[in-house]
Amino acid sequence: MDTPRLILASASPRRRELLIEAGYDFEVHPADIDEEDYPSQMLPAEIAQRLAMLKAQELVPRFPDDVILAADTVVAFGDVPLGKPANETEAATMLEMLSGTTHVVVTGVTVLRPAKNFSISTKVMSAVRMRSLTAKEIARYVATGDWQGKAGGYGIQDHHKDPFVTRMAGSHSNIVGLPMEATRELLLSAGIEPTAKPAGTMAAAMTNHEIRMTNQ
């Protein structure tokens, strides 16, 4: 029997990089869903899982014989979910909220194999401490456009010389956008294994641990 293809239901370049560096062969077919499609009282972790499932299900009619991987990342500021900012104003507002706080990054991951009636999902949470940011720093970052497509309006990989994040606990790759330790387990249960050896800087940081970064 032919091995099914792995279909990534995401346009995120960070998720693509993580899968490539983990040795997976896959095709990219972003799902087209309404990312605001969830009840107003739903908690961030539930939102992430719901949207990941909706993304995966959206591709089932097109790829019924393959394995579909979908994920959604939400930043939780208490019980308030912060998704991807729609514009510069929203990005700046999110960064002002997160500045000087410890918040949670949660990613929902879903894997479907329709031909086998296989469906599995999980969520992974990591704690992140962000240093205090000045209004000038926020404005300078927002002007770069690097906030686009990133939950909470920032990426942990941004600003290496003077990082926003001073400490994190949990999965580093989860904060980037795809918790690889959990994703590998889900894909293996669906019959998908890496076709190459893991390589790259992201792959080296996939296990759960605490990282103390500069400028604490």
Q: Which residues are catalytic?
A: 72
Closest by CA position to 176, among listed 134, 198, 204: 204
- 91 contacts 153 by C-beta, under 8 angstroms: yes
- DSSP string of 172-215? HHHHHT--HHHHHHHHHHTT---SS---STTGGG-SEEEEE-S-
Burial class from Cβ neighbours inside 10 Å (0-12, 13-18, 19+) for residue 60 reads middle
Are the C-beta atoms of residues 147 and 83 closer than 8 Å to each other? Answer: no
**Secondary structure class of 91 (helix, strand, coil):** helix
Residue 58 structure tokens: 């959206």
